[in-house]
Structure 1
């Protein structure tokens, strides 16, 4: 099963991280990533650019409203993610517990990644996506 570990932090936690030694942060995250690679569970891992450079597309209106970041009322920002291929949610939790990004204001949300097999296989669009995934080696 695949699980996404969504790395979240408050503005204050990001500010504290900005004052940390960058080489130490890279080393800690690098060791964590290497541990997951050696265990054979890491599928993908990416960090995200500053929310100040992002945009939000709000579909509450027609046409959708596009707003530049930074976002108002931000309590926690989504700063990056990992996708792990593990046997269970409990195993995903154990990997999240090992994260070097800890302390007040840091959180990891864990969500299972659904598979194409969970959708109606007689649907035209599911069949097209399955064909694309097979052609690109994703299935």
Structure 2
């Protein structure tokens, strides 16, 4: 694979992940608000607002990554969201909170069965996605200096 194709592949992977992650949350914002509430870091009014806005932001970011429209902004938002997701899941894990992160499904996520193990997997997964987002952001380096 040519090295300038790596950012393109990263864009498509991240775009598909963000679109997929948004769908269940858009379909059931009440359940997603409950997922957010399980982190015990914000009042219910903030959780409800986040449950209404965040899935649409994820969808728009995903579409932007795939189409290449507003790519710089989408890659910065992707990096920011992934850092936030890593932080929020890590803090819940460190506080001993076992929860379904609500990352992809608002209901019971079949996952790994053990919620603590699931949370560690999600942190690792988000770190990998963060690496892809950084590749997208610095995509010019793969094309060479102009």
TM (normalized to structure 1)?
Answer: 0.29
Larger Rg: 1
Larger strand fraction of residues: 1
Could you state the TM-score of these two structures normalised by the residue count of structure 2?
0.28
Q: Looking at both structures, which has the greater relative contact order when contacts are Cα pairs under 8 Å and sequence separation is at least 6?
A: 1
